[in-house]
Structure 1
């Protein structure tokens, strides 16, 4: 309907769908920050425990990881992903396409690798996969009572490093999901995952920092640093409609494709701006870098429906 190369049927890519140190303490109250709206420095700690530092001078996720690595004198490749305002492995607090100017960044580093041999007894393994935007795909969600759910060694937050000895490093989440989907049913294969380095305090709740809620140097609290598709980062006022739209689009991506990516959802939302119908929207997607996803007609229509619902305040 929209484009010759787009599949007419809804084919989900997958329903299958990271330095040993002294035992850390729970995050301590951060020092007085030189943060200002102009300098755009952010509080940062290693999730398994470290002093607090500040990171700045980055315009995309990859550069952010490089700045964090420099701050803690570790290779950026040791960082699996970051969470915001929580040092726990909380997939609801993943750093995606934007950072609030008051957010505290926790970097999760590579921990123990694990190799598991399993048999794909069903079409779907039960994984939702996302990636960190810098070359590592990892498990965001595990479906209850799925194949993976019954393998305790594979957990949410684990980086998928290899499949049958083939490296998945540098691949996007949809490529890893597709590789898992293409494994024939009843085939036995080996998956190598790397869990994030964990502290002995992972079940504790971080103590609120002194003066929390009054970080005057961080701006109004309604502003966020957005990582845009063109490689530039831009401070914007928080857009409530966009936030709802991105969340809903992400839900559709997970249902149809087994992937979760707030940055991708943000790009899709941006492409819908000023589009008056689904045809215009589909054309904008096909003419963008997102054409590589080969979204089906059904998926485009589903996403457009959510976008119009958000615009008309029906959600």
Structure 2
């Protein structure tokens, strides 16, 4: 990672309002705190997410991963794009711009949008742009409140944990996308190691079962006549996504003491994988849901097998 990143002009129409939505049923007796009230809805508080300290969030991230800290060192969490890496391969420059925005948007903790690719033949430059959306909606979860009574520290912890997870996705994507002349990070090497374990001979049955379920779901969700090759490529892409999520959740859980059980991970990401496969376009919803459950069972077995082989090493 380049230690210093230069900012680039923000072209997207991205709102930089960090304020959050209404929290129903929360009453704050201290009018001088981070909450304010509106006459439109009486006694309903409004949380200004700008109470978090960006420097503190980055300090937490640096403690757990220097690679992630270097990635975000010069990125501000206001939705503005910043160049985080740029390498030359032959006559071409390959650059990666990253933006981070913190806001409330439902019940998804974080989203990393797929990078947009722009090519400049004149300047011989290819630029990838990626956006991370961070949603600390779990602010009032009992486990988080018990751990952090101070609301500022609570927000900062949640932002750091979500960013850690999403940055793992970015770094894996970055190392896979940019030319091989770039140096791979420890995170990418660890992910590749887990992927190799998942595809090892000892887990061939578990892997094939997951891919078989993914194949069925891909057939169910195909948008139209597609070649077998394209369908197989989609199966492999979704399969790697599932291993990516296993690795990202495991590493984040170890760093922030919030590990999820494989059963919960499998249920969550089996559904996501089924949606990525196209949903239930060509089959009844009941049959589709049965296949999603079968994928969840197969995925849990694969995740358990990965953990067992990692412990052996």
TM range (shorter): under 0.3
- Of structures 1 and 2, the one scoring higher in RCO (CA 8 A, sep 6+) is 1
Larger Rg: 2
So what's the TM-score if we normalise by structure 1?
0.25
Q: Relative to total residues, which structure has the larger strand share, 1 or 2? A: 1
